[in-house]
Amino acid sequence: MRCLLCLFVFLSGLSHGGAALSHPHVFVDAEAGFTFDEDGRLVSLRVTWTYDAFASLMLFDILDLDKDGDGKLDDADRAIIVAGETDWPEGYEGDIHLETGAAKVALTRPANGSSWMADDRITVAFDLPLDQPLSVAGDYVLRFYDPMYFYAYAVVAVDDSLPDGCSAEIIPFEPDDAAEELLVQLAALSREESPEQEDVGRLFADQVWLKCA
């Protein structure tokens, strides 16, 4: 989990007088891209996260951004955001999960980060190289989810600049009765409580299906 999340949840509780806050706490629009090398192998993901307006506002306080008070991000602000979002602690996987069949694809650490703000929402983008290039013949599933469901990701776009024979499709999460009931239970949790179910965020994740012949 990103350290920004811990600070966000803490400050959110203060701003609401300690009142209970439902899960999730932070809402993120995600965009996904796939990068291939000259041999047609998948070598990297391109990830873009755009925070909701309230989370973006909280980040201004958490990270002490906009010191000149002009309401805009300068180069120093953007560097702070990129560092906070891409300097992951050991063992953190960035809420980014790529699988082929039942096998998990090993990813490395973010590179080429950038950040900007539009319509009062902060965006961060970066490349996430695979540990080893992959021949992409077959099916892959990409999910963005926080195992504890503090963050809720909605996949809003996928880059369709793919090699011949490949296609990518967003499969939105569609709740059934059991998922609806679980969402009600999660909404009743206070900010001090965590879901009992392991990897619960996966249950609510949109999927990006990459298929290559």
- What confidence tens digit (pLDDT) does each residue in 81-108 have? 999 889 888 888 889 999 998 799 999 9
Q: How far apart are CA 128 and CA 100, in angstroms?
A: 17
Tokens of 166: 């490949």
What is the C-alpha separation between 29 and 23, in angstroms, rounded?
16
Residue-wise pLDDT for 134-191, tens only, equals 988 889 999 999 988 889 999 999 998 999 999 999 999 998 888 888 888 888 786 6
Number of independent structural domains in the chain: 1
In a domain, 152, yes or no: yes
- In a domain, residue 18? The reply is no
SS3 call for 109: coil
Burial class (CB in 10 A: 0-12, 13-18, 19+), 204: buried
Distance CA 161, CA 147 (A): 30
Residue 150: per-residue pLDDT: 86
pTM: 0.87
Q: How many CB atoms lie within 10 A of CB 15?
A: 14
Q: What is the mean pLDDT of residues 118-134?
A: 95
Judging by beta carbons within 10 Å of its beta carbon (0-12, 13-18, 19+), is residue 13 exposed, middle or buried? middle
204 is a domain residue: yes
- Residue 207: the pLDDT is 98
Q: 106 lies in a domain?
A: yes
Domain for residue 162, yes or no? yes
Rounded CA separation 201/1 (Å): 12
Residue 15 lies in a domain: no
pLDDT tens digits, 101-119: 879 999 999 999 999 999 9
- Tell me, yes or no, whether 170 lies in a domain: yes
Domain hosting residue 192, numbered range = 3-9+23-212
